[in-house]
Amino acid sequence: MNRLKSFFVGVLLLTIMSVALVLVTLVYTANDRSSIKSYMFQLEDYSNQRAGALRNIKDMTAIELRNKLIKKYVSEYFAVFPNDTDVLNRPTLRNMSDPLNPRAYSQWQNGEAQTIKKMSENKMFRRVLTDSIDIVTKNMPENYSYYTNERAQEILYEVHYYTETWAESNKMGTKPVYERGVIYLQARFKPGIKEHIVYNNEEISIRDYLESGKDPVGLFMFEVVNVGSKGIE
């Protein structure tokens, strides 16, 4: 009788071990077949503001490209990130400013950047609502063309924008404060890529620029010469 019991116990243990072995094999096999899928998270509140497919620059009009670059500049100009340890250094903003005349970038460092520094130290977060930006051309000469003019002329743009600010970035119940402002940008623009790429006062190739991880927006022929809050003389 005891031998019979031992036999059945042995069979039961063998069955359990076999099942365990099969489960382990399935786990490893599933791991071999697994894949990682990446997703782009929606950064805006509305579906029509999600990141879209990449577009060829040749499919954009000069005005559309110009407006995108202005929106990028204004966004960089006012953005606040909590606990930013290097507020005064914004390579994208510097690359979109006149490389031979540091006036525009210095204006930002000595002006808005000081406000950004205080806000960042207080753990505030601010962004520009780029879809709400309105751009008005103030002094474009009659019959001026971005395409045909050999040299990009300095044009004054009146930019109306909205900001969204959180006084406490890590508190879920905090509601943002919306503010409206106007900034004047005096800038040169031509559709296309710059002939000479200058970074840190040195000329580099487009390949080196991109491979170093720098923002591609700095490659476009868009240079802010002067910035003002009440117009520019």
CATH number (domain holding residue 191)? 3.10.450.230
Which residues span the domain enclosing 100?
57-140+152-228
Instruction: Dump strand ranges (E) for the chain.
Output: 125-128, 134-137, 154-166, 177-193, 197-199, 202-204, 220-228
**CA neighbours closer than 13 Å in the CB half-sphere of residue 44:** 12
Mean pLDDT calculated for residue range 192-210: 79
Residue 172: other Cβ atoms inside 10 A: 5
Is residue 22, in this structure, part of any structural domain at all? no
pLDDT of 180 > 90? The answer is yes
Is residue 68, in this structure, part of any structural domain at all? yes
Number of folded domains in the chain? 1
The pLDDT score that the predictor gives to residue 16 is: 63
Is residue 15, in this structure, part of any structural domain at all? no
The pLDDT score that the predictor gives to residue 19 is: 55
Residue 5: other Cβ atoms inside 10 A: 9
Is residue 201, in this structure, part of any structural domain at all? yes
Is residue 209, in this structure, part of any structural domain at all? yes
Please state, in angstroms and rounded to a whole number, the distance separating the CA atoms of residues 52 and 42.
Answer: 10
Mean pLDDT calculated for residue range 90-109: 89
DSSP bridge pairs for 184: 158, 228
Mean pLDDT calculated for residue range 108-132: 94
Written as one letter, the residue type at 4 is: L
Is residue 208, in this structure, part of any structural domain at all? yes
What's the pTM? 0.73
pLDDT of 148 > 70? The answer is yes
Model confidence at 164, in pLDDT bands (50, 70, 90)? very high
pLDDT tens per residue, range 60-85: 899 999 999 999 999 999 999 999 99
Q: Worst-scoring range by mean pLDDT, 10-24, 25-39, 129-143, 156-170? A: 25-39
Q: Do the strands 177-193 and 134-137 form a parallel or antiparallel pair, or are they unpaired?
A: unpaired
